[in-house]
Amino acid sequence: MQDDIIIVGAGPAGLSLANSLAGHGLSIALVERQSLEQLEAPEFDGREIALTHRSVGILNGLSVWPELAAEAAPMREARVLNGASPFALTFDSGQAIEGLLGWLVPNHAIRRALYRAVLSRPDVRIVTGAEAAAVHTRASGAELRLRDGRSLRGRLLVAADSRMSAVRDMLGISAHIRRTGRAMLVCRMEHDGDHARTATEWFDHGQTLALLPLNGRMSSAVITLPSHEAERLMALGTEAFEAEMERRFAHRMGRMRLASSRHLYPLTITWSRHFAATRAALVGDAAVGMHPVTAHGFNLGLLGQHGLARQVLRAARRGGDPGAEGPLKRYEALHRLACRPLYDATNALVALYTRESPVARLARPAVLRLGQRLPLARRGIGALLAQR
């Protein structure tokens, strides 16, 4: 049996792509190493995804946004703080739709909604408990061999299996991988203070802090620290952890109470040298693994799968080959153009606000104040964050 499209990885990017391609006369195999039960009921993983207007539009087109809207928390502003300075650089979205920068939605809820949508697609078959062992691509097609001995053949193979993609490696596509030696701790915190629907980012000495506004007096707390320090914080008892969080957030939100499980993620940044190859393409984190500070990793992944689906379906509608070189090259060129400026700008921002050299310490407050004095630039960044 041969499929038209084989997608490896049933995370948000892979699930979105399967939904985007479904209903157009193509046969799609979605391969995932997790069990069917894990896909049906993904557990809370601490991550809250900041969705832009463009991403919400894509999810609405996939018929999953109505299910997610009930859990979404609207975000009106974002502000950036440096150390103990009271000065804040504030971004809004100008004339944004509904006056919002975007919405915060739990990652596990997005995965659940996308999986339910895939289940309604008769042209998508899901292969669970399966792990890639080898891939072979040639002009005539692609083959995926699984560790259990099975083989799948198709006209296009898509890697959607994380920023440390095994399929990317098997395809011979190199990537720039930067292991930062830092880790990101995420959890939900209740607090006495009002977040006013504003996302706040603190660049402080030795740590980066963020509070993302959820519904009610609750926020997603994100702390990026050297790995050993993050592990120490993770291991604290509840009362000690709450006290430490209040201290680290400089008591800005008053009393803080742990409202969820805690989760720790090693921080690795990746950029693939190519997003496409013969009979193959990369989407999501397999293509670009962003630093979380600008909260655009998921949005770029969603945009990428949307772009790939558009190129593949355009070729299929014209009676062409969905895995041909032309559509894949167009996808690669357009997605690299969309990702590279934000990837480079994010890395430059992180470098400036995490270095502890005297020059960097002097430059940080100056950069924030310069941004505040340039309203056109500030509004432009707000529009970029909103991505209408």
pLDDT given at position 292 = 82
- Structural contact between residues 381 and 370, judged by C-beta atoms closer than 8 angstroms: no
Residue 142 CA to residue 120 CA, distance in Å, equals: 26
- Rounded mean pLDDT for each run of 10 residues along the chain, 388 residues in total: 93 98 97 96 96 95 96 90 59 58 95 97 96 96 96 97 96 95 96 95 84 97 95 98 96 96 95 98 96 84 97 93 96 96 79 57 51 46 47
Q: What are 234-273's pLDDT values in tens digits?
A: 999 999 999 999 999 999 999 999 999 999 999 999 999 9
The segment(s) of the chain belonging to CATH 3.30.9.10 are 179-267+355-386
End-to-end CA distance of the chain: 42
pLDDT given at position 99 = 72
pTM passes above 0.95: no
pLDDT given at position 295 = 74
pLDDT given at position 382 = 46
* CA nearest to 225, candidates 279, 270, 267: 267
pLDDT given at position 334 = 97
The first and second tokens of residue 283, run together, are 């989407």
Query: How does DSSP classify residue 206?
Result: T
pLDDT given at position 171 = 98
Residues 6+ apart with CB under 8 A from 100: 53, 74, 75, 76, 93, 386
- Structural contact between residues 305 and 284, judged by C-beta atoms closer than 8 angstroms: yes
pLDDT given at position 88 = 52
For the chain, list the strands marked E by DSSP: 2-8, 28-31, 48-51, 73-75, 77-82, 88-91, 102-106, 124-127, 132-138, 141-146, 151-159, 175-191, 198-204, 207-213, 218-226, 256-258, 263-272, 276-277, 280-282, 288-289
pLDDT given at position 353 = 55
Strands 141-146, 132-138: pairing kind: antiparallel
Domain 2-67+104-177+269-353 has what CATH class?
alpha beta
Domain 179-267+355-386 has what CATH class?
alpha beta
pLDDT given at position 368 = 47
The segment(s) of the chain belonging to CATH 3.50.50.60 are 2-67+104-177+269-353
Rounded to the nearest 5 degrees, what angle is found at the Cα of 13, between the Cα atoms of 334 and 354? Answer: 80
- Structural contact between residues 308 and 283, judged by C-beta atoms closer than 8 angstroms: yes
